[in-house]
Structure 1
């Protein structure tokens, strides 16, 4: 009788673990994913158990979802692998394919860009990070007008932000050999807020790519201006979907913690670059 009770208890334990494994396997499929071409789910982590009791489940690749175009991949990893003191790492990668003709020969190349990286040990935070990635894939892969109609305000409770270098156009710039004071710059009015890209070419950040509202329109545009015509340099969290889309899709700031440190360093020396008339 005792032997039967032990067998029954073992059976219940096995059944419970099986049900739990099936539940966690479906955990991410219930999320509102974008249309995907591949979905690989190796998640077997029990949210109710300590990490040090399931180290064999803390594998490097836990989840990988690639959108229908093949350009964007959301990946969930555990680092260091099998280490209970590690954590979840969520990435969003963009694959860009290039064709270059060199001396009559066409060469194909693929560049993988890391657009997003956040880490956590909290399950609720993990789910939020994955929801942010889904939001970003929809934002980046959909025509912006259609995206606003279909997705804005519907996929996440709060839109994800990126750290961005921000400034304002000087009141008066010095123009020509005679240093004639002129208000604002050709494209932007004085005081216009501009979202500044990171350094994109090797000129010491003298000419910079920015996003801002021009004098004759309420719509944001992207142009290149002189850094010396920008003042009030600062670090800012940016939620604006157009700015986020433009930055992530065109070599701008990424949703990565190191971006904050880079910008914090830049705002220390950029004020010395500003040149304006004292009027």
Structure 2
């Protein structure tokens, strides 16, 4: 990898990061994650970084980014400058994708969401079950994986929009040992099964990278030693471990914390204004009140 993507030497101190997307206002769930990262870093004399994950240029805005800085400062947090912004590192993601392509584990995927949905519906209408990933979404069909190079070149030449996906079977064939990751606490070593996610997206026609690829590259570039994030990303760690092995990147230690849920028991959403940090601040709450609300 380029020097930007891979630290020249191991970090002297533990490095933690909070990495929100500026596509909405932060809520209590984000507060829990940010506070945990900050407190865990402080407890071990480590570093606390902020990363702005603005790879989705259609939904992320400067206004939401400014709100992130405002909310975190109100919580009493401070972070190292400058802040890494994904939109300034597209070249790093392109380079990682090119390396994976050279390994033969990437293919162009031309099916639209509508076509995938229709295939799944037809299968289930026949009484068959369609395989789904840990989040419950249907796995991508194998049509594009089996296309000939001639057909792929023709579709590309015709201007058909496409994404790039990881050929999971080929990728796993390059990994010699079983994958796992280290989870803090008493959970220890967790077996990783990236195959449960099927052929994940690495890059789309409207974005230069997917979450899976960019977060893996970013964590390596910033020398992140401890990834502290919500339990909703626990299963996705298997994909990140696979990409780390393929790209020869260091493996962080992981800590997946509990989620803050709403009255309906579901994970909070940025659309729920009642739990937004800005709304709570406007109601007169303090940073200390937020710590209490999230159980810290």
Q: Same fold (TM over 0.5)?
A: no
Larger Rg: 1
TM-score (ref. length: structure 2): 0.21
Q: Which has the higher contact order (CA 8 A, sep 6+)?
A: 2
> Normalized per residue, which structure has more helix?
2
